[in-house]
A and B are shown apart, each in its own frame.
Chain A
């Protein structure tokens, strides 16, 4: 039939082929979703089941100092990860946010384009190279071979800054230009407009950007292996001496398992569980904080 079919006079129900197609598509999408979810679920199950056995008070209260075989804990690595991550955030957040403010509020012309390009390049830097960079910087300043938590934080900052710049830039661009205009029209200098209006409006987004950057670096292993090193003992001083971290702890337990290798492996799994829990808690905290601010 070549003629255009007449418009139906009534309002018919959805045709059978369409209902079938919709159903099939639905199931297909659900299936793909489950497949995508499977590795994640398996990972969580594995980490929890293997890490469970050593999730005891000792794990959180003692270091590995003098421990051979079973027992011992990862307090030194937990403290190290917290300190180094915190230091990296303290270094990266102001730099990243300031760069984003420059790009969004002031940046015009060649300098802004160069900065954007550099940030893009930095995003792709392999983490081991960031480690080498920090190592080189600190060797030049403090002599060769110096290892410290601060060097680790510096290496992680190299990785974190581009993440913070990118996400902060996006968040600052989301601030309606109406608000900037309103502030300027009230007789506000540009810098005060940024400090009092733009940054507070973007604050929830900026915080989640910093959190994103934090999650990016908290599990980094290679650069820390290079510049923060590893130790079995407590070290609260970022500026002095080797400092253990959870990822490096996991690596070294696994790699240097002693005679009683199950005890070493169990510690590694528990450390992995703690690391995942920390990332999860950070995410949750960031979400709660931003939803509180938005109201």
Chain B
């Protein structure tokens, strides 16, 4: 198999992610072992499983965010549209500009206005924008994040002045403003109230048309509502590595899980 270096691209091109025999380590501790799965483009894939089973670890490996943690290592192969992600020669910065991430806690940049929070990704990537392109990008991204109407009159206000749910949508707008191929979301609703959660779920349903979306969630209802495919991870006990147990389309997963451990977890009989 030949590996090509991640290249510049101009438009969104939702990409298939192939994960093959991936293991992750924090120092000498094996957090995740032997994960293989294919994540389909223009679909929402949910990662579920008990706390500590390695869902976040798997997610962060996809855009090489694990490298920001001292001592963290990932082995195996992850490809994005056929291009190797984990290859040492590949610039992690280039990977991340194609694989965006939304975190559990909304984290808009406090020193920047709402407008600048949307544009910051483009600037952080060292690209320049004309004033009118910037205006268009701000509107497009905020519309895509269902946030344009509430904030269009207050674009120069600091991002931190919004409600928690609005801040999270601002973070989604920020992530999609750089036109990634893939959007990774790590428990994006766990710090939000039910109404904001519903708004984000609706937004994910729309993003599905253009992006490859991977979402980690502890909310089984949410996984069922938003995802096309579900991956169940588990861990046997403290100090053991997390493993992928079952991965199939969401409807089958929730109605007829094959593995007894999945069935137990979905039925709330875990641990």
Contact = CB atoms under 8 A, between A and B. Distances in A.
Interface stretch (A59-67, A186-194, A245-253): A186-194
Contacts of A71: none
A143 interface: no
Interface string B7-26: 00000000000000000000
A178 B97 contact: no
21 contacts: A108-B70, A176-B107, A178-B105, A182-B109, A182-B171, A183-B109, A184-B68, A185-B103, A185-B175, A186-B96, A186-B120, A186-B175, A187-B93, A187-B94, A187-B121, A188-B93, A188-B124, A188-B125, A196-B120, A197-B124, A293-B111
Interface of A: 108, 176, 178-189, 192-193, 196-197, 200-201, 203, 293, 295
B110 interface: yes
A200 B123 CA distance: 14
Nearest to A202: B111
Contacts of A189: 93, 126
Contact of B97 (A179, A186, A293, A295): A186
Given A108-B70, A193-B124, A185 B109 contact: no
A179 B160 CA distance: 13
B50 interface: no
B178 interface: yes
A81 to B, nearest CB: 33
B124 A187 contact: yes
Contacts of A187: 93-94, 96-98, 121, 124-125, 178
Contacts, number: 73
Nearest to A186: B121
A61 to B, nearest CB: 42
Interface centre among B70, B111, B123, B126 (most CB of A within 10 A): B111
B76 interface: no
Interface size class on chain B is 20 to 34
Interface in B117-132: 120-121, 123-126
Contact of A185 (B65, B70, B110): B65
Interface of B: 63, 65, 68, 70, 93-94, 96-98, 100-101, 103, 105, 107, 109-111, 120-121, 123-126, 158, 171, 174-175, 178
B115 to A, nearest CB: 15
Contacts of A293: 111
B124 to A, nearest CB: 3
A104 B11 CA distance: 37
Given A182-B103, A187-B178, 12 more contacts: A178-B107, A179-B109, A184-B68, A185-B96, A187-B96, A187-B98, A188-B96, A188-B125, A189-B93, A192-B124, A200-B111, A293-B111
Contact of A181 (B68, B158, B175, B178): B68
Contacts of B93: 187-189
B255 to A, nearest CB: 35
A181 B103 contact: yes
A284 to B, nearest CB: 23
A196 B111 CA distance: 10
Nearest to A196: B124
Nearest to A185: B101
B72 to A, nearest CB: 13
B117 to A, nearest CB: 10
Contact of B123 (A108, A180, A196, A203): A196
Nearest to A108: B70
A7 B86 CA distance: 66
Contacts of A183: 109, 120, 124
Nearest to A180: B68
Given A187-B96, A193-B124, A196-B120, A182 B107 contact: yes
A203 B111 CA distance: 10
Nearest to B68: A184
Given A179-B109, A181-B68, A186 B103 contact: no
A203 B70 CA distance: 26
Nearest to A199: B111
A203 B93 CA distance: 25
A186 B124 contact: yes
Contacts of A186: 96-97, 100, 120-121, 124-125, 174-175, 178
Contacts of A108: 70
Given A186-B96, A186-B97, A186-B100, A181 B124 contact: no
